[in-house]
Amino acid sequence: MLRDRYINLLTDFGFKRLFGTEPNKDLLIDFLNTILPPEHHVRDLTYRNNENIGNTTLDRKAIFDIYCESDSGEKFIVEIQKAKQNYFKDRSVYYATFPIQEQATRGDWNYQLTAVYTVGILDFIFDDHKDDPTIMHVVELKNQQGEVFYDKLKFIYLELPKFTKQIEQLNNHFEKWLFLLKHLYELDTPPAALQEGVFRRLFEVAEIAQFSPIERETYENSLKYYRDLKNVVDTSREEGREEGREEGRREIVANMLRANVSVESISQMTGLSIATIQSIQAALDQR
């Protein structure tokens, strides 16, 4: 039974409820404007189909958490990533090609593009960033002198584990967003420091008591999935005998399979091979 007052924003349901619905787009606009350069601040946005099947039936499709477009044409992919994933940077670049390609027009075209942003909210730290205290990383296409060659393609990554401030230490709007992304579900009441306009709306939207029975069930499943995945990560970090760690991982994968998480998703999120996951699935089927 759920005892928290507010949702966990790092769950799929919590993230999409807050940022991915038309009635709450003011929250997404405020969040984006907190991390975007002033020249690309968003006044309004439209949600786009988050599933892109490519140009032919043979193309691999991409499914974004949130895909939207500003009123001035900029495209935004906004994703939550809960665990390290093999080739995560490669996937980010691949996903960014879809909003680029869809701008092509039939007939004569001068190839002018609008900006494309990929925003990744990460519940992990990149291996090559472990000694870097920077929380927000902005990646652009640059030349050998470090000068920006193309300013319409940007990748923005927020490494949440690096953010450790408590409520009384928050200095600005950006830090308040980071705090809520990490700690909203732990709060019993809205703190005085977070009772400004947009955050008052956030607390209203995120209150579990306002959910319908179907929404509560969906959230509970999403929360269980998040906790199982977190256990996978935590188990992999534990010291001790390898056999024990491996057994723990297999049991958590089994729980994820019971929750109908796809084999491909489990493989991406845990780093285990598809063959290993399929063997666990086969063992479950025989029980």
Specify the amino acid at residue 245.
Answer: R
What pLDDT score was predicted for residue 239? 44
Q: Which amino acid is at 51?
A: E
Separation CA 121–CA 81 (nearest Å): 6
Q: Where are the domains of the chain?
A: 12-206, 214-285
Q: Of 36, 37, 17, 13, which is closest to residue 27 (Cα–Cα)?
A: 17
Q: What does the angle CA 130 – CA 131 – CA 136 come to, to the nearest 5 degrees?
A: 70
pLDDT at 219 over 50: yes
Contacting residues for 242 by C-beta, under 8 A, at least 6 apart = none
DSSP 194: G
This prediction's pTM:
0.78
Average pLDDT, the chain: 85
The percentage of residues in the chain with a pLDDT greater than 70, rounded to a whole number, is 88
Helix (H, G, I), strand (E, B) or coil at 117: strand
Q: What is the pLDDT of residue 57?
A: 42
Residue 216: enclosing H or E segment and its boundaries? helix 213-237
Q: Is the pLDDT of residue 242 over 60?
A: no
Computed over its alpha carbons, how large is the radius of gyration of the chain? 20
The long-range contacts involving 251-256, CB below 8 angstroms and separated by at least 24 positions, are 252/228, 253/277, 253/280, 254/280, 254/284, 255/224, 255/228, 256/225, 256/228, 256/229
Q: Write out pLDDT tens, residues 70-86.
A: 998 999 999 988 877 77
Mean pLDDT over residues 160-171, rounded? 94
| β strands within the chain, DSSP E | 45-47, 51-52, 62-63, 66-70, 75-81, 116-122, 136-142, 148-159
